[in-house]
Amino acid sequence: MTGKRSVMERMTDEGLVAVVRVSGSEEAVDVAAALKAGGVSLIEITMTVQGALDVIKELRRKYAGDVIIGAGTVLDAEAGKSAILAGAQFLVSPNLSLDLIQLANTKKVVVVPGALTPTEIVRAWNAGADMVKVFPVAQLGGPEYIKALKGPLPQIPLVPTGGVNLQNAGDFIRSGAAAVGVGGELVDKKAIGQKNFAVITETAKAFLKVIQEARRKG
C-alpha cells in the first residue's frame, strides 16, 4: 500500500491532480484510463460522480501501485470515511471541514481541504492539512493571488484549483503552487461525449510538459 509520504511526494513531484467530474461511473473509468495513458498518476474521482465509491474501488484494483486514486468533493468526515473505506489514498474538499482533517490524520490519509482567504488557509494548515486547495482561484486573481499568498505563507503547500488551464498552469507553478488541480480543462466533456479519449490523453501530456518546464525554468 502506498504510504502517506509517498502520495505527498508524487503530488509535489508531478504537480498535477486530475479532477474527474463526469456523470457516470463507466465514463469515469474510461477517463482514468486516458489520463494514465497520458502519464498522469494522481486521479481524483469526485463524490458527485454516480457510483463514485465503486469507481474508486475499481481503479484501485486496476492500477494498484501505478496510479494514486483520491476522492474529491469530500464535504465532511462521514463522506471521508466512506471514501477511505473504498480505497481513496487522498481526500480533497472544496470547503474547510476540521472534522475531515482530523479523520484523515487519524487514518493517515493525505487531506487537501479547500480554503480561499489567508485566514482560512492558515486555519486549515494549523488543523493538520497536508496541502491546501485554493478554490476558486481564478476569481481571486489566478497566479498573482497564489504569489501574493506565498509571500507571508511560504511554508504552506498550495494547490490552486478552478480556472487552471494550459495557458496559465505554468504561471501557477512559477508563482509557488505545489501542484495544480485541473478538471474541465483536462477532462473535456465534448471528447467524452464523442468517446474520443485520445484527446484527454494528449491534453494530459501537454499539462505535464507545461508544469515540468515551469519548474525547470523556475
Q: Is 133 one of the annotated active-site residues of the chain?
A: yes
Name, in order, each residue with C-beta under 8 angstroms of 190's C-beta and a sequence gap of 6 or more: none
Q: Is 26 one of the annotated active-site residues of the chain?
A: no
Q: Compute and round to an integer the Cα radius of gyration of the chain.
A: 16
One of 14, 27, 44, 58 is an active-site residue; which one? 44
One of 133, 185, 195, 209 is an active-site residue; which one? 133
Paired sense of beta strands 68-72 and 42-46, if any: parallel
C-alpha grid cell, residue 180: 495544480
Residues tagged active-site = 44, 133
